[in-house]
Amino acid sequence: MTMGMTPEQLKGLIETLARTVIAEADRLTALDQAIGDGDHGLNMKRGFEAVLADLDGLARKPLPDAIKAIGTHLVMKVGGASGPLYGTLFLTIGKELPAAPGLADFAKAFAAAFEAVKARGKSDRGQKTMLDVLGPVSDALAGAAADPQLGDRLKRVATEAAEATVPMKAIRGRASFLGDRSIGHMDPGACSSALMIAAVVDFLETK
Ligand code: ADP
Ligand code: MG
C-alpha cells in the first residue's frame, strides 16, 4: 500500500470514495433516523456529489491539495455537525501531508487530523461518534509497517470500531439527546467513517 499515485489513480481514488459514500447514503440515513434526525446520508451524499462534480479539477492537483480541496467541498456542502468535522479531517490531512508522502507521513497526518476533529467537536473517544472509528484507525496507522496485511487490518479495525459504537451511550451530537435510548444502534458518523476507510483501502490495494 503506497501513497504515490498518478493523476489517473488519484481520480480513481476520489471517485471510488465519493461513489461508495453515495451508494451507502440510505444506510447512513437509516442509522441517523434511529438516533438522530435522519439526514446523515443525505448530508454526505450532497457533499460527495460536489466532490464528484469537481473530480477532474481535484485529480489535477498534487495529493495534499486535492485532499484539502475535498475538505473544503465537505465544509461547504455536507452541513450538519458532520460537515465541519469531516471538513476538518480532510483539510488537516491535506495540510500535514508532504507532496510525496510515505506511510509514516500519512500516519502522522491522520493523527493530527484526529486531534483537530476532537478539538473542533469538543469531543473525544467513548462518546459514540465518528471519533470512535477515527481514533482506533489512527492508532493502527501509528508505527504500522507497510506489510501486505495492513489494508485488511485497517478495514477490520474500522469495521469493529463502528460495531463497538452499538452498545455505547451517546454523549455528543444529536444522539445524546436520547440518553439511554441511543444504546443499541450504530452511530451514523462511525459508520460513514468506517466505510470511507474501507473504500480508500480497497482502492489502494487494487491500484
Ligand atoms: P447532525 O447531527 O447535525 O444532523 P449528521 O447527521 O450529518 O449531523 O452527523 C451526525 C454524526 O456526526 C454523528 O453520528 C456523529 O458521529 C458525528 N458527530 C456529531 N457531533 C459530534 C461531535 N461533537 N464530535 C464528533 N462527532 C460528532
Ligand atoms: Mg443528522
- What type of residue sits at position 137? V
Ligand 1 atom 24: the closest Cα is on which residue? 121
**CB–CB of 83/90 below 8 Å?**
no
Ligand number with the minimum distance to the CA of 118: 1
Q: Supply the pLDDT for residue 1.
A: 41
The cell 500519512 sits on which residue? 106
Q: Per-residue pLDDT tens for 145-180?
A: 888 899 999 999 999 999 999 999 999 999 999 999
Ligand 2 ion: residues within 5 Å (CB): 32, 36-37, 39-40
- Tell me the percentage of the chain whose pLDDT exceeds 70: 98
- 177-184 average pLDDT score: 96
Of the pLDDT bands very low, low, confident and very high (cuts 50, 70, 90), residue 207 is confident
Q: Supply the pLDDT for residue 147.
A: 87
CA of 189 to the centre of ligand 2 (A): 9
84 lines ligand 1 (CB under 6 A): no
Q: Which three cell numbers stand for residue 123?
A: 469531543
- Among 24, 42, 82, 137, which residue has the most ligand 1 atoms within 8 Å of its CB, making it the best to mutate? 82
96 lines ligand 1 (CB under 6 A): no
134 lines ligand 1 (CB under 6 A): no
Cite the DSSP H helix spans in the chain. 7-23, 25-35, 40-53, 55-59, 63-77, 82-96, 103-121, 131-141, 150-163, 188-206
List, in order of start, the domains of the chain with CATH numbers: 7-206 (1.25.40.340)
Other Cβ atoms within 10 Å of 192 Cβ, number: 28
Q: Supply the pLDDT for residue 148.
A: 87
Q: Which three cell numbers stand for residue 2?
A: 503506497
CA 126 to chain CA mean position, Å: 17
